[in-house]
Amino acid sequence: MSKNAIQELLSKQDLSFPCPGEHILPCQQKTQGRPKAADAEARIQELVITAAQLFMDKGYNKVSLEMIAKQARVAVRTIYVKFGGKAGLFAAVIAAGRTHFFANMDDVDTTTRPLRDVLFDFGLHLTSLLTSPIAIALHRMVIAEAQSNPELAQAFFEVGPGQTRSHLIRLFSRPDIRAQLRDDVPLEMLAVQLQNCLTGDQIRRYLFQPDELPTMDEVHRQLNIGLDMFLGGALRRSAA
């Protein structure tokens, strides 16, 4: 994927940059109306885009902070201050892509739509994310290098699958939603099973056969089948 394509993907949303040692909380709020602050923010966004391109082109192991800093025209110290190091910068790449794909999804804390509709919408967003070229490329890279770079695997999980799981657990924890679900199954297990039903085998195949991505009709059919299977086992009998 070209740098222009990555820039188009990652620049469509507001980025929250992690503090050192964290992956999801912004260090500070954006400052409005000051050109210097806007320039600094643009420079940091360019840093994330540059890092994404280098990670995909060369792999995590072969990319140094010095290499990223030189190409992005920033100091290495800036990477440490903003992201805590290479793993934090990689986490910011994952977080930026995830934010883009989930940007227009319903707020799980306030939505009043039926549970099945909310989960179907979630499945569409998740499938769109996981079948995107940048996600497939980064996922492959993590699989290839996880054993030699545990920090890479940890960063990927915390900002990617871990955040998705937390998102679902928050939804399932709502009293009105919890009342519909079996109370003998832990919420984390419900979240894991939903992801498996919606995307499990299909996503694994996309990693190995990237040119055989599904049509929208196929996505809808797979999601409907997966949701029927999940809800059939997760709903209380009175709610099924």
Determine the pLDDT at residue 190: 96
Write down which residue in 36, 63, 88 finishes a domain. Answer: 88
For residues 73 and 146, state if they share a domain: no
| This model's pTM is above 0.85 | no
pLDDT tens for 7-51 read 554 444 333 333 323 332 233 344 444 446 667 778 888 899 999
Residue 93 falls inside a structural domain: no
CB count within 10 Å of CB 36 equals: 8
Do 66 and 113 sit in the same domain of this protein? no
With a cut of 70, list the residues of the chain below it in pLDDT.
1-38, 209-212, 239-240
Q: What are phi and psi of 99, to 5 degrees?
A: -60, -40
Question: Is residue 29 domain-shared with residue 55, that is, in the same domain?
Answer: yes
Shared domain for 77 and 17, answered yes or no, is yes
Q: How many CA atoms lie within 13 A of 45 on its CB side?
A: 20
Q: Which domain holds residue 80?
A: 3-88
> Quick check: is 95 in a domain?
no
Predicted local distance difference test score (pLDDT) of residue 44: 85
Please state the domain count of the chain.
2
Shared domain for 109 and 228, answered yes or no, is yes
**Quick one: pLDDT at residue 21?**
31
